[in-house]
Structure 1
Amino acid sequence: MRDQLQPLAARHGFAVEWVDIDDNDALEALYGELVPVLADADGGEICHYHLDLQALDDWLAKIR
């Protein structure tokens, strides 16, 4: 997911923060086995396991 997401973030002008959920008990409890997960700054899940381009496009349309 990371390799796919980095060029999209640059192209569409959004920042990505990589977080290891194993270092955060609250995130580990929230996402469990749903890793990797792409979430917005408010913790809203965009997609998990793989990059869902349609879900990302929907999220981008919603925030613009």
Structure 2
Amino acid sequence: MHTAKLTLVSRRYCHLCTEMAVALETLAAELGVAVEVVDVDADAALEALYDELVPVLLHEGRELCHYFLDTSKVRDYLSEIR
């Protein structure tokens, strides 16, 4: 079984992005998942998709939540895919 990797689409100077990243650290450690943080402003395609929605949490391109970490939704999703 491989470790699930979540992608956090974020941007600098975004307080919601910072809050989600901090909340995600605890959840990721608890659930044993990896988190990759991607700067939305460094990728034109991501910016076109998610510009006003950041932060956005993805797993393999599937949006799990945006603006705020939905802990129960992420837990449920990860338990389904394992």
Gaps of 5+ in 1: none
Please report the RMSD computed on the Cα atoms of aligned residues, expressed in angstroms: 1.0
TM-score, structure 1 length as denominator? 0.89
Matched, 1:2 2:59: no
* Counterpart position of 2:72: 54
Q: Structure 1, residues 17-47: CA drift from partner, whole Å, max 9, x if none?
A: 011111001111111211011011x211000
CA distance in 2, matches of 1:55, 1:11: 15
Q: Identify which of structures 1 and 2 has the higher relative contact order when contacts are C-alpha pairs closer than 8 Å and 6+ apart.
A: 2
**Deviation >4 Å, runs of 4+:** none
The letter of the residue matching 2:61 is: G
TM-score, structure 2 length as denominator? 0.71
Query: More strand by proportion, 1 or 2?
Result: 2
* Counterpart position of 2:33: 14
Aligned residues: 63
Gaps of 5+ in 2: 1-19
Percent identical: 56
SS of the residue 1:19 aligns to: strand
